[in-house]
Structure 1
Amino acid sequence: MGFITRQSTCDLLNKISLVLLLHLFIFVSESRADKNAGDNSVPAIFVFGDSTSDPGNNNFIGTSFKSNFPPYGKDFTNHTATGRFTNGLLANDFIARYVGVKDYVPPYLDPSLDIKELATGVSFASAGSGFDPLTPTISNVISLSKQLEYFKEYKRKLEAGIGKEKTKHVITNALFIVCAGTNDFIVNYYTLPIRRRSYDLQAYMDFLLKQVHQFMEDLIDGGARRIGVPGMTPIGCLPIVITLYSSNPITNRTCIESLSSVAKDYNIKLQKELYSLQLCNAKSGSRIAYLDSYTLMQDIVTNSSKFGFKVADRGCCGTGIIEAAFICNRGSVLCSNTSNYVYWDSIHPTERVYRLAVEAFRPTLDFIINR
C-alpha cells in the first residue's frame, strides 16, 4: 500500500476543486472591489523578493548591486537614496499605506530599527535575488531561503521584545508579499544561460514553481496566513531587454514579445500553483492570492498616453537603455520630468507606476486581508 502524502492529497483536491476555487476567488474579489480601506486589521507587513521589493537590505551586504546613491531616491523624502531601486517609493510602501500600517517598509538588516518599527513589519527582500537558489549567487545577494532564515530570526527578536502571544498575533494577521522571478529568467536563464544547459523552458518553469511551492509552505509553517504574490511583468518590455535582444536597439525599441510570452506562460502556471496552495491550506485560515502585475504593466507600456506617460521604451536615467545600479549614478543625465517615464532606469519602474499597480491590486488585497 502506498503512502498518501500531504502533496499527493493536495494534488487530488486541486484536480477536483481548482475551477470552483478560481470562480469563487474571482467572485469574492469583485464583490470587494468597491470597498474602501475601512478599519485596519493588519498589524504588520512582511516582504520577500528582489529589487522591486528591496528598500535597502543590499546596503548592508557585500554586493555591487546597490542603489544607495543619487540619483536613486530623487523623489523620496529629503531626496534620500535609501537603497530602493527607483526614484521614490516602492509598491510595498504604497501597500503599507493602503492597509494602514506605516508609510515606509524598512529593510530588516538596518541595525537602527527599534522594536516598535520591527513590530509593524519589514522587508527581507534583496535586489538580484530569485526563487532559483542559483540566481542570488550570481550577484552575491540574499537568497529566498536566507530571507526565510532572517524571518525566523526576526520572530525571535520580536518575541523577546513583546512576548510570544503578541508576536503570534502579529504574524498571523500580517500581510505577506512575495515578489521574485524576473532575475531567474532574465539573468540566470537567458543572459547567463546557466540553467539552459540543464532545462528547457517548460522544465525550468516547473523547477521554479517547485521552489515557489516549497517557499510558500515554509512561510505558512512559519505562521503566515495572508499572502499576496505578484506575477511577473512583461519582461520583454524592460528597456534593458529591448537593448539586449532587439535587432536594432537604437531605432527599434518595441517589446520583445517572445520574452514577454515567457512571463505570461509562467504567470498562468503560478496562478494554478497558488490556487492549489490556497486550497490545501484553507483549513488553517490562509488566504493566498495572485496579484496581476502583467496585465497592468502591459497596458501601461502599450497604451502609455492613456496613463499620462510619454516614454515607455527607456528609463529616465542616462540613455535609459542600459543603465541600472552603479551604472545609473551621480554622473548620469536625468530626464526632465520623471512622471513622464514608465521606467526609472533600464529595469525598474518609476514610483508613479508602483502607485498605479497598488491601486489595481486593492480588490485582491482586500480579499487577502478579508475585509
Structure 2
Amino acid sequence: MDHLHVERLVMAIWVLCVYTIPLVTTANAAYSALFAFGDSILDTGNNNVLVSITKCNHPPYGRDFNGGTPTGRFSNGKVPSDLIAGALKIKDTLPAYNNPNFDPQELPTGEVVSIADQLKMFKEYIGKLTGSVGQQKASEIISNSLVILSAGNNDIAITFSQGRRPMLFSAYSNLLIDWTSSFLKELYALGVRHVWAFSTLTLGCLPGGRASVGGVLCNEAVNEFAVEFNGMLEKYITSIKTTTPDYDVQYVDVYNPLRDIISSSPGFTNTINGCCGGEAVAAGELCTLLTSQCENSSTYVFWDFAHPTQRAYEIIVSDIIQKHAQQ
C-alpha cells in the first residue's frame, strides 16, 4: 500500500463490504456473493470502531432505517451496498465486519472491513470461507461473486479540491487510475472475475459542494474534475476487456443519474439542501440531534452535506440494476 492509500483512510471512510448468501438460496441470485470496496456511501457501520472523528453512529442518522437505529450508515436509511445486495437477492442489509457483536453465523451472509487493511481482510475472509465450505466451493463463490467499487469521491471533493494535493488534475487523476488498476489486478489474482466500478457522484452539486461557492449553484469546477476522472476511469475499464477478456469489469455511471435526479426532481421538493442541516449545511459537518431536520426525508435528494437520502439512492440503484445486472 502506498501513501495514497493512507491518505484515503485519513480523508474519508473507506470500506470493504462482503456479502455471501446461504448456499441453499443461491439459485435465485445472479451472483453467489457481493463484495463492495468503497467510501462512505457504502459504509454500513465499519467506521464505528475505526480511529476516526467522522462517525455517524448516532441520531439522527438511521432515522428511517430498520427500527430507526443509527448503525453507522451515512444516510437516513439504507445505502447503495444494502440496496444492490437486496436487488440481487443476496441480502437485505449488511452487518459490519468489525462489529464486536458480529455473529460468526453471519459469515455466509456478509461483512465489512476498512480500506487500510481491505485486501488483507479480504484474504482473511476467503480463509474463513474456505474453512467453512471448503477450497473448491470457496473458489466458486469468489469467482461467481460481484465486486462493487466506489472510488474518487473524496480524493476529488476533498483532497484535490481543497488544495491538499498541489498538482495538475490530469496528473492526480492518473495517480487515481494507477491505484485503481493495481487494486483491480490484485482482486483478479484473488479470483474475482466480476466488478462494477462506480464513477464519482456529481460532487459539485452535493450540498457541501454548493456551499463552497455560495450555497445555491453547483460548483461546476469540481464537477469538471469529476467528469475528467470518470472519463479516464471508463477508458481504462474499456481497455481491460482487450487485455483480460475473462475479467468482467463494467463502468457504472452514477454521476449522470444523480445529476438527472437533481435536474428533474422526480417526487423531490428539495434538490439543493440536506434534509438534515438545511441551508446551514457546511462541508464536513455531520448532523447531530441539535441540527435542524426536514419532516419527510423522501422529498429531499440529500440527507446531509455529502450523502443522498435512501430515496435518491433507490432511484440510482434501480438504474444500475437495470443496466448492469445479469438477466
Task: Tell whether the 8 Å contact from 1:93 to 1:104 is kept in structure 2 after alignment.
Answer: yes
1:330 to 275, 289, 309: 289
1:205 to 155, 159, 173: 173
**Partner of residue 14, structure 2:** none
Distance 1:238 1:254, change over 3 A: same
Within 5 Å, which residues of 2 pair with 1:148-187? Answer: 148-187=119-158
Task: Report the secondary structure of 1:123's partner residue.
Answer: strand
1:326 Cα deviation from its structure 2 partner: 6.5
Task: Report the secondary structure of 2:112's partner residue.
Answer: coil
Distance 1:120 1:281, change over 3 A: farther
In structure 1, what is the Cα distance between the partners aligned to 2:159 and 2:100?
31
2:247 to 282, 286, 292: 286
Within 5 Å, which residues of 2 pair with 1:312-323? Answer: 312-322=271-281
Task: Tell whether the 8 Å contact from 2:161 to 2:222 is kept in structure 1 after alignment.
Answer: no
1:189 to 160, 163, 188: 160
Distance 1:210 1:123, change over 3 A: same
Identity in percent:
35
User: Deviations along 1:18-76, whole A, 9 cap, x unmatched?
Assistant: xxxxxxxxxxxxxxxxxxxx942322111111100110111111111111000000000
In structure 1, what is the Cα distance between the partners aligned to 2:193 and 2:104?
22
**Partner of residue 56, structure 1:** 45
Q: Which moved more, 1:260-269 or 1:326-335?
A: 326-335
User: Deviations along 1:99-158, whole A, 9 cap, x unmatched?
Assistant: 11110122221243344422233333x5xxxxxxxxxxxxxxx43xx2111111111122
**Partner of residue 353, structure 1:** 312
Task: Tell whether the 8 Å contact from 1:42 to 1:99 is kept in structure 2 after alignment.
Answer: yes
In structure 2, what is the Cα distance between the partners aligned to 1:165 and 1:175?
18
Give unmatched runs, 5+ long, in structure 1.
1-37, 127-141
- Partner amino acid for 1:161? S
Task: Report the secondary structure of 1:327's partner residue.
Answer: coil
1:319 Cα deviation from its structure 2 partner: 3.0
Count how many residue pairs are aligned between Structure 1 and Structure 2.
301
Higher relative contact order (CA 8 A, sep 6+): 1
Distance 1:320 1:78, change over 3 A: farther
Task: Tell whether the 8 Å contact from 1:67 to 1:326 is kept in structure 2 after alignment.
Answer: no
**Partner of residue 324, structure 2:** 365
Task: Check if 1:277 corresponds to 2:240.
Answer: yes
1:122 to 111, 114, 121: 111
**Partner of residue 3, structure 1:** none
Task: Report the secondary structure of 2:99's partner residue.
Answer: coil
Q: Point out the structure with the larger strand share.
A: 2
- TM-score normalized by the length of structure 2: 0.87
- TM-score normalized by the length of structure 1: 0.77
In structure 2, what is the Cα distance between the partners aligned to 1:179 and 1:46?
11
- Partner amino acid for 2:141? V
2:182 to 207, 214, 223: 214
2:191 to 203, 223, 236: 223
- Partner amino acid for 1:267? N
- Partner amino acid for 1:235? L
